[in-house]
């Protein structure tokens, strides 16, 4: 492996098979990173190395965590791990009356505990590389709607985890979060039944009259990892087309 070709070091990206994950991989590769992707899918997803990884199992099994650490370090092949992007998430929707215990435990395990344990597993290597951690949260951490209790709670917890880590891991490691609103992914479109009128209405609610593109999430994450913003840690970057600034009332 060429150290010169991958001058920015290695980046570990979870949820690498999704639309945002693949955009993260492409963007970070273009910036000189060696990309190590983790996802449930065994297929290749544009990363230099793709590791089939079940984050639900990782969150509850020390044995899985140890094995995952070994696989990540082998994939890095001596490159410093200079960035970790906790992008993977699950979204279990349901009303207060019908959310199950497994809905809650699975959501918290994947969306909160897995990011925590990945940081813990790689902590020495992240410190040695003066790395940056980016947690992909959501607008649902602060503004939500019916049916999202489990998901919104997990994303709010991830914000709290981001700030706690930023304080405890400084000055060697910076930790920030992104909080996107609607991003144009297959998952989002499926949630709207692939109905173009519904998607057009969604766009109209944003002051930008648009929804976000996965590439904008990736570009924002790359900015947070830049060595030129060493003073930026514990921050929550809201990427929402201005919707959180807009008051919706009858007028």
Instruction: Establish if 247 belongs to a structural domain.
Output: no
Let me know if 151 is a catalytic residue: yes
Rounded to whole angstroms, how far apart are CA atoms 138 and 107?
Answer: 14
Residue 172 belongs to a domain: yes
If one counts the domains in the chain, the total is 1
Residue 4 within any structural domain of the chain: no
Catalytic residue, candidates 33, 34, 45, 151:
151
SS (H, E, C) 163-204: HHHHHHHCCCCEEEEEEECCECCHHHHHHCCCCHHHHHHHHH
d(CA 8, CA 183): 27
Residue 248 lies in a domain: no
Residue 142 lies in a domain: yes
This prediction has a pTM of 0.95
Residue 2 belongs to a domain: no
pLDDT in tens, the chain (251 residues): 555 578 899 999 999 999 999 999 999 999 999 999 999 986 767 899 999 999 999 999 999 999 999 999 999 999 999 999 999 999 999 999 999 999 999 999 999 999 999 999 999 999 999 999 999 999 999 999 999 999 999 999 999 999 999 999 999 999 999 999 999 988 888 877 788 888 888 899 899 999 999 999 999 999 999 999 999 999 999 999 999 998 877 75
Q: What is the domain range of residue 40? A: 10-240
Quote the CA–CA distance of 96 and 164 in Å, as a whole number. Answer: 29
Is position 187 within any domain?
yes
Residue 246 lies in a domain: no
82: domain CATH number is 3.40.50.720
């Amino acid at each position: 492996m060429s150290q010169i070709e991958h001058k920015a070091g290695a980046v570990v990206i979870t949820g690498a098979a999704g639309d945002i994950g693949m955009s993260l991989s492409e963007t970070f590769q273009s910036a000189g990173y060696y990309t190590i992707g983790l996802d449930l899918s065994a297929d290749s997803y544009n990363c230099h190395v793709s590791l089939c990884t079940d984050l639900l199992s990782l969150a509850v099994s020390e044995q899985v965590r140890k094995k995952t650490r070994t696989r990540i370090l082998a994939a890095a092949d001596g490159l410093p791990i200079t960035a970790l992007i906790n992008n993977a998430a699950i979204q279990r929707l349901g009303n207060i009356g019908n959310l199950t215990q497994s809905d809650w435990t699975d959501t918290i395990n994947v969306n909160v505990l897995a990011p925590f344990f990945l940081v813990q597993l790689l902590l020495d290597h992240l410190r040695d590389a003066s790395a940056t951690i980016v947690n992909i949260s959501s607008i649902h951490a602060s503004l939500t709607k019916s049916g999202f209790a489990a998901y919104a709670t997990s994303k709010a917890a991830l914000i709290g985890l981001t700030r706690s880590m930023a304080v405890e891991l400084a000055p060697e490691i910076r930790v920030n979060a992104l909080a996107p609103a609607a991003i144009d992914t297959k998952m989002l479109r499926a949630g709207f039944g692939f109905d173009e009128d519904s998607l057009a209405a969604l766009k109209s609610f944003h002051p930008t009259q648009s929804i976000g593109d996965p590439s904008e999430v990736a570009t924002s994450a790359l900015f947070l990892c830049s060595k030129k913003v060493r003073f930026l840690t514990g921050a929550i970057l809201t990427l929402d087309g201005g919707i959180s600034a807009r008051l919706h009332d009858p007028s």
